[in-house]
Amino acid sequence: DLHLLGGNIRSDSLAGVGTWTHQLIGMVSVDVAFISINGITPERGLTTHNMAEAAVKSAMIKAARRSILLADHTKFGREEFGRVAPLAAIDTIITDPGVNADLVREVEAAGTEVFWPGRS
């Protein structure tokens, strides 16, 4: 089944945030969480520009047995204000072929798998 969490829906990102969202996340056990992000660095991990979204993403990662990050290559090496989680909290990152190989090696050194179309 697919379940969606409510809360205050932000108009720019369409993300559910706020107290209600946090309460609902605290009541569920998630098999696989698919997360998006604004920045990924080995030093700061996963970051986003909005603190309310950072809190929800962090809670969802903690509620999940497995977390998969969906991020295009422009997110690698970028750091935003709100910290979400360390790289070690993510099991897998799925990205696109434009990703920088050096940044991928740094991310994989932290124990996170990185996949993209055409990678052998």
pLDDT number for residue 7: 73
Residue type, 84: V
120 part of a folded domain: no
20-42 residue pLDDT tens: 778 888 888 889 999 999 999 99
4 part of a folded domain: no
62 part of a folded domain: yes
56 part of a folded domain: yes
- Cα distances (Å, whole numbers) of residue 51 to 3, 9, 40, 44: 23, 14, 16, 15
Q: Give 97's pLDDT tier (boundaries 50, 70, 90).
A: very high
**Tokens found for residue 11:** 């108009």
73 part of a folded domain: yes
Find the domain containing 39 and state its range: 30-115
Number of domain units in the chain: 1
Q: Give 14's pLDDT tier (boundaries 50, 70, 90).
A: low
pLDDT number for residue 69: 97
Number of H helices, E strands in the chain: 3, 9
105 part of a folded domain: yes
11 part of a folded domain: no
